[in-house]
Amino acid sequence: MEEIRARFRLDWPGFALDVDQVFPGRGVTALFGQSGSGKTTLLRCVAGLERAAGGHLSVCGEIWQDHRHWLPTHRRPLGYVFQEANLFPHLNVLGNLRYGMKRSASAQQKSMDQAIELLGISHLLERKPDRLSGGERQRVGIARALAVAPKILLMDEPLAALDLKRKQEILPYLERLHRELDIPVFYVSHAMEEVVRLADHLVLLEEGRAIASGGLSEMLARLDLPTAHSDDAGVVIEAEIALHDRDYALTRLDFAGRSLWVGKLDQPEGTRVRARVLARDVSIALELPRGTSIANILEASIVEISDEGPDRVNVLMDAGQNLLSRITRRSRDMLGLKPGMKVCAQVKSVALTR
């Protein structure tokens, strides 16, 4: 029973939530959508902060809510990270961390020490929250949620209230969390760049409904979803660091018998990394081009083509892993592109996400 089953129906003036979904019981599940799509409300229902009458929720085999049971929030073995940290202003950092730890049956001193270490806040323990920067506050908020040794971690846009610099400060900690935690994480976000860095699964929410859900890379390759229509549509490629070329300061990533060259990375060879390739950075040639400065050319076959507005099309290709390209409709017709064709995909730029 390593899964999370949730069915919630809420009917508020001007907003309705109607979700009936099975979520994986491991890894990071991103709840992604515009503001007003119901992603935070869904998270609050899971936490028991909102009560959807007649709802059902079971987390890894434990029933938290059904027609007979209602487990109040303080009895649910969860950790919750609020959008604006929401630390207790009358307690210092240590007091905030100890607040939940003292009350949690599963927590031990060890879980708190680990949380302090994981978030790098050991130098802040004596400070009051109003003496912390926004980024530090949020790190304490995450550590406080982890110190109770939860069975599931719920995060409500933990980066949304921070500026770009603070985001960059926290993201490495979140990635570390992702590597080192073995509990399921629900991560609410409206920022695709966070989702591609952190998520394993993606649930798309629109107007209170979950319109699609699945593994991150397969979801990003679906041409029928809103994610494919946005300007920064693109896929993620899971690859391994094959070798470092110190001479040219480049690193080669291998996947599915193909390789991509990127700017030199610090991690050792053999490390698994995730690269993001935007559709607008991929062009298509019928034959292997000669005399081009583009280093990354992948053999691929066309899977699907769909119109994207009056002038452009999205092309989904199989290059060992999914690859998306956005080209003009004119180019498609001039090249005569059709599903099944073998082509060469030229990748102009690759962003390493982790």
According to the binding rule CB under 8 A, does residue 330 interact with another protein? no
Q: At what angle do helices 134-146 and 164-180 cross, to 10 degrees?
A: 20
Piece of 81-89, 179-187, 316-324, 346-354 that binds another protein (CB under 8 A): 81-89
Considering only residues 62, 88, 256, 263, which one is a binding residue for another protein as defined by CB under 8 A? 88
Tokens at 139, concatenated: 């790190």
Rounded to whole angstroms, how far apart are CA atoms 82 and 182? Answer: 21
Considering only residues 1, 61, 62, 103, which one is a binding residue for another protein as defined by CB under 8 A? 103
The bridge status of strand 152-156 relative to strand 185-189 is parallel
Piece of 21-29, 124-132, 299-307, 329-337 that binds another protein (CB under 8 A): 124-132
According to the binding rule CB under 8 A, does residue 231 interact with another protein? no
Q: Do 223 and 317 contact (CB within 8 A), yes or no?
A: no
Task: Build a one-symbol-per-residue string for 34-63: x at contacts with another protein by CB under 8 A, - elsewhere.
Answer: -------------xxx--------------
Rule CB under 8 A: which of 139-158 touch another protein?
144-145, 148
Q: Alpha carbon 347 to chain centroid distance?
A: 23
Q: Do 163 and 138 contact (CB within 8 A), yes or no?
A: no
Considering only residues 3, 5, 9, 82, which one is a binding residue for another protein as defined by CB under 8 A? 82
Considering only residues 86, 114, 217, 271, which one is a binding residue for another protein as defined by CB under 8 A? 86
We find the least distance from the C-beta atom of residue 12 to another protein, in angstroms, to be 13
User: In whole angstroms, how far apart are CA 251 and each of 172, 243, 259?
Assistant: 21, 6, 10
Neighbours of 302 (CB within 10 A): 20
Tokens at 263, concatenated: 């700017």
According to the binding rule CB under 8 A, does residue 70 interact with another protein? no
According to the binding rule CB under 8 A, does residue 187 interact with another protein? no
Number of residues near another protein (by CB under 8 A): 26
CA dihedral 304, 233, 219, 8 (to 10 degrees): -130
According to the binding rule CB under 8 A, does residue 90 interact with another protein? yes
Which residues bind to another protein, rule: CB under 8 A? 47-49, 72-75, 78-80, 82, 86-90, 99-100, 103-104, 128-130, 144-145, 148
